[in-house]
Structure formats: structure tokens, C-alpha cells
Amino acid sequence: MEANQEKLRAFIGQRPVVVLGCGNGRKLAFLAPPRSKSITLVDLSERLIREAERNLGFKVKAMNADFESMDFSVFDPGTAFVMLGGTLGNLGDIRSFLGKIREVPSSRLVLGLEFLEKNGPDEISPILREYDNETGFGFVFGPLASLGVRRQDGEIQVSFNRSESRVEEHFVFSDARALERLANLAGVEADKVRRMLLSSSLKTTFPEFCAILESGKMELVDSFGKRASRICLVERSPNQ
């Protein structure tokens, strides 16, 4: 464990660190005591940012923002971006995100991901059952609930998108009036929001993940951890 932690800290070095989707910060213990010039926590939830700062035990910068749509030119050259807890797999377009990382000169990327062995039905079925529960539904349904949508206005469907290697949760409207209200609120046609993606989570094998990195013009420098759960150290491909 100590050898892996030192390997990780050597990869980060004295770089400024930006934690994307920091959550409550409990997975960031390896950053304490900090060796970097600065640490910035980015999350949509101000409450989670405050909780993460308490769990880290030292003062950090904070940005209450959606990092998937933010301008990465605000970050310093050489920044080490950290994404743990499978956050990468929740992005709508991973390759586009990797492109944003590449735009920051000399940047590096630390990813925490869980991998499948073969991506077969025997692995996928138990995962789908884990997602198909009321506790998880309450979390992903929150944004729709804030817009006045009720659970009885439709149903949540959990499925595996094999072409994208993702577990996806959709809300499918059955109440026509509720659908029309949301469509009017969003200013779009009803068919655009009839089946809404609530969340997605990358569930892929390690070789498939490496192929995603390569297509995004990034490369894996090193990885460590358990076979299914690993920390991956990534940087821009040298020929890019």
C-alpha cells in the first residue's frame, strides 16, 4: 500500500491537483498531507465540497460547477486531474472529456475505476440488480424531482448498453401531461424527453479501457490495486 501511494505521489509530484467530482472526499486520503502546490475540489454539490474539505483536514480551493461542461483553460499547465469512485464512467462523452484534459499543457490524469473480467452476462446481471433499488433511484431521480416530475409519472429502467459498455438508468414517461409540462419547461419536443437518461456508469474490461484511452490520444503510464478495482495513471500520448 505504501509503495503504491508513493508511486501515485511521484506521478502527481508538485503539480496543482484538481479533483473532479470530489464527492465527500473520503477516497482522497492519499492526498494528505498534501505535496502539491494546491488542491481544488470541483463538484456540483456545495454540501459535498464542504464535507470533502472536512474529511481532508486541510484548506482547499473549491469550485461549485459541472466539470463536464466547464472551460478547462482556467486550469494551470501541468495540472494533475483526479477522478475517483468511477466518476469517469458517468460522463456522457468520455473521449470529448479526454480532449479537454489534453488541452491543458503537460497535464496528467489519475483515475479510479472498477473493471469487469469478460463483460459477459454472468458479470452484468448482478451489477444490474445492484442498480435496481429504491435507494439508488432516489439519488438519480433528484434532478427530475426538482423540476416537478413525480415517480408515478413514469418508471425507471435499468439496462446495459453493450456498445458503450455502460449501465444506464432511464426515466420513461407514462403520464402524458407530466411529459408535456417537462417538454414545455425545457423548450423541446416531447419525444426528446420521453425517455431520459438519468445516469450512466462505465462497466468495461481493462483492455477495452486502454482502447478508449488510445482513441482519446491518451496512454496508461501505470496502474495498481486489486484486479477489479484499480488506480490508473494516465497522460497525453507522447506522439500527440
Domain ranges of the chain: 2-116+204-236, 121-202
Fold of 2-116+204-236: Rossmann fold (3.40.50)
pLDDT attached to residue 37: 61
Question: Are 22 and 48 contacting, i.e. CB atoms less than 8 angstroms apart?
Answer: yes
pLDDT attached to residue 194: 95
pLDDT attached to residue 30: 67
Rounded to an integer, what distance in angstroms lies between the CA atom of residue 199 and that of residue 137? 10
pLDDT attached to residue 182: 94
What is the distance, to the nearest Å, from the Cα of residue 88 to the centroid of all Cα atoms in its chain?
3
Q: Torsion-angle region of residue 70: left (phi > 0), alpha (psi -120 to 50) or beta?
A: beta
pLDDT attached to residue 25: 82
The candidate with the shortest Cα–Cα distance to 216, out of 197, 198, 232, is 232
Please list the ranges in the chain whose pLDDT falls under 70. Answer: 1, 29-37, 119-121, 134-136, 139, 227, 239-240
pLDDT attached to residue 109: 94
User: What pLDDT, in 10s, does the model give residues 37-92?
Assistant: 688 999 888 888 888 888 887 778 889 888 888 899 999 999 999 998 778 877 87
